[in-house]
Amino acid sequence: MKRREFSLTSASVLAGSALVLSPVGSAHAQGKPPVAGTDYLVLDKPVPTEAPAGKVEVIEFFWYACPHCFAFEPALTAWLKKLPKNVAFRRVPVVFQDSFVPPQKLYYTLEAMGQLEAVHEKVFNAIHVERQKLDKDNLVIEWAAKQGLDKAKFVETYNSFSVATKVRKAAQLQEAYKVAGVPAMGVAGRFYTDGTQAQSMERGLTVVDYLVSQQKT
Give the pLDDT mean for 23-29: 38
CA–CA gap between residue 63 and residue 43 (Å, rounded)? 22
d(CA 137, CA 140): 5
- Between CA 100 and CA 63 the distance in angstroms is 7
* Structure confidence at residue 217 as a pLDDT band (50, 70, 90): low
Task: Tell how far CA 157 is from the center of its chain.
Answer: 22
What would the pLDDT profile of 53-71 be if each residue is shown by its tens digit?
A: 999 999 999 999 999 999 9
The CATH code of the domain at 3-213 is 3.40.30.10
**How does residue 1 score in pLDDT terms, banded at 50, 70 and 90?**
low
Give exposure, 110-137, as e/b (b: 16+ Cβ within 10 Å).
Answer: bbbbebeeebbebbbebbbeeeeebbee
Q: Where are the domains of the chain?
A: 3-213
Task: Judge contact between 200 and 68, C-beta under 8 A.
Answer: no
Amino acid at 157: T
Burial class (CB in 10 A: 0-12, 13-18, 19+), 213: exposed
> Which residues are paired to 192 by β-bridges?
41, 186
Would you say 159 and 138 are in contact if contact means Cβ atoms under 8 Å apart?
no
What is this structure's pTM?
Answer: 0.87
Bridge-based pairing of strands 56-62 and 87-93 is parallel
